[in-house]
Amino acid sequence: MLIGKDRERVMAKADLRLYIEGSRGRHGNVLAHVLHAKLGKLLAVLNQFDRKQVEVRERRVDYEISDAKKFNPTFLELHPVARVPSCDVAAVMEWTFSELEAVAMGGVVDPRVDAALAKSLVDLAELPNDPTGLERFWLELNGRVVGLDDEFRRHSALLAARRIAIERPTIWKQGASLGSVVGYLSQVGDLDGEAKLVITPRIGPEKVECVVKDEDREMVKGHLWTMVRINGLLHYSEKSPFPYRVDMRRIEQVPAQTGKSLLDLRGIFRGKPRQRLDLDGLLNG
């Protein structure tokens, strides 16, 4: 177990430096609102990396300003401190910086860096509206440097687009059409002011709501706890290729399926005696 100065030396390896090179037109001085905006965006990105590393909702690391100097460039040194005892801040910073390096080089980025985080990286690398706000902006960890420049922004935008393509759910066409649904009738009753039944289809969603006309209610009850086919107007949403509701026009019971063996699939040879195939004879014949 590390204590005292030994622990401090290990922790220092995780210190992150933020550098901003001021505009020549302002003699290298950085505008206060530019520094404030960049620091806020950087902390937001660091917190996202923190949460994504172990897929938790709350951040595990806080950052102390352990050093600051006004030269050109201006720099702030951020010292990570654990908010929870089990958090290895050095490991968090190493993973975070390694992924920033991968983005900067256009390399392979960990799948945990999702579209939302990639978009935050694009925002982090954006130049301020005031063209005299800064000249350059970069990060440094133990001598390793990541420039938050146009190239970093382009790579981040490309990563965000790729992640969006993967993460975006398929959008199905919303609408209605005539058709049928086969499933197990498990419920009949007045739901939301309408006479409805609920069936569990053989494939697709867990349930489909079926709206029933008043004059058909008694007929429907006779099919309770059986496999049925519901014919009618099927309603589809953009979330699924399967209907979520059917306005019933007709209901019919589906006969119970009987088990069949592969012998039932023998086609034109069904019912004929089986013969042993002489492979040696075929090969030597």
Q: Give the separation between CA 96 and CA 92, rounded to whole angstroms.
A: 6
Q: Is 9 a residue whose pLDDT tops 80?
A: no
Query: Mean per-residue pLDDT for 146-171?
Result: 91
43, 111: one domain: yes
Q: What is the mean pLDDT of the chain?
A: 83
Q: What is the DSSP string of 184-242?
A: EEEEEEEETTEEEEEEEESSSSS-EEEE--GGGHHHHHTTTTSEEEEEEEEEE-TT-SS
Q: Is 12 a residue whose pLDDT tops 50?
A: no
146, 225: one domain: no
Q: How many domains does the chain have?
A: 2
80, 214: one domain: no
Write the pLDDT tens digit of every residue in 230-251: 999 999 998 888 899 999 999 9
Q: Record the tokens describing residue 142, joined without a space.
A: 């133990």
153, 186: one domain: no
Q: Give the separation between CA 217 and CA 223, rounded to whole angstroms.
A: 11
97, 64: one domain: yes
